[in-house]
Amino acid sequence: MDILQEAHVTEQARLQEEARRVLESSVESLISTGHLQEGSMIVLGCSTSEVAGARIGKGSVPEYGLIIAQAFLSVCLEHHLQPAFQCCEHLNRAVVMETSALNDRRLIQVNAIPQPKAGGSVPAAAWKLLQHPCLAMAVQAEAAIDVGDTLVGMHVRPVAVPLRGEYSQLGHAHLVMAYSRLPYIGGSRAVYPE
């Protein structure tokens, strides 16, 4: 193995460890602060371009997509959560998920298969990793993780509450999270549960 290949393998191993650590911490923060229940859905929006230090949409890295999709899928399954993966604007930010999740939530299915340069590297990898993948037009999930400013908040049900966790980056990409709470309704006489 030459020095460039060795450096590439080392970088992938480093990202694999970092992705697992950051996503585990992020999901656990969403569970505890957002009071997520088993079966809740978390949408991941991720720009591998940003993770690699490039500008969003300008340097997709399929190898990073696979590493990040595997880590997120693994963490969600360990916590009995439904993982979902937001595509980029080339697929109108549609969401990759298991067909059973789409059916349970009565979502509108659309017809496309994400690719690294038309959907994004993470959703393209997720499509291959899921047992029965499908593409939903949109979803209102209980929580979301946004890696690289992908505007994943459009897939969080109202009312979205921003959350800062232990980590604010994955690779070179900015990381933010949100969970949802029920909307308050009523006025000064309304009484709300704790």
DSSP code per residue over 139-175:
--BSEEEEESS--GGGGBPSSEEEE--S-SEETTEEE
pLDDT tens-digit readout, 115-171: 999 999 999 999 999 999 999 999 999 999 999 999 999 999 999 999 999 999 999
On whether the CB atoms of residues 69 and 122 are closer than 8 A, the answer is yes
Instruction: Give the integer Cα–Cα distance in Å for 186 and 41.
Output: 28
Q: Which two tokens stand for residue 60?
A: 């997709």
74: enclosing H helix or E strand: helix 62-78
**Cis peptide, bond prior to residue 191, ω within 30 of zero:** no
190/46: higher pLDDT: 46
- Please tell me the predicted confidence (pLDDT) of residue 40: 98
27: enclosing H helix or E strand: helix 3-34
Identify the weakest region by mean pLDDT among 7-11, 84-88, 120-124: 7-11
As a whole number, the mean pLDDT across the chain is 93
The structural domains of the chain, with segments of one domain joined by +, span: 3-180
Q: Which two tokens stand for residue 126?
A: 């997720």
- Bridge partners (DSSP) listed for residue 160: 180
Largest Cα–Cα distance in the chain?
72
Tell me the CATH class for 3-180: alpha beta
Instruction: Give the integer Cα–Cα distance in Å for 171 and 174.
Output: 8
- Please tell me the predicted confidence (pLDDT) of residue 171: 94
Confidence bin at 57 (pLDDT 50/70/90):
confident
Q: Which two tokens stand for residue 47?
A: 């720009």
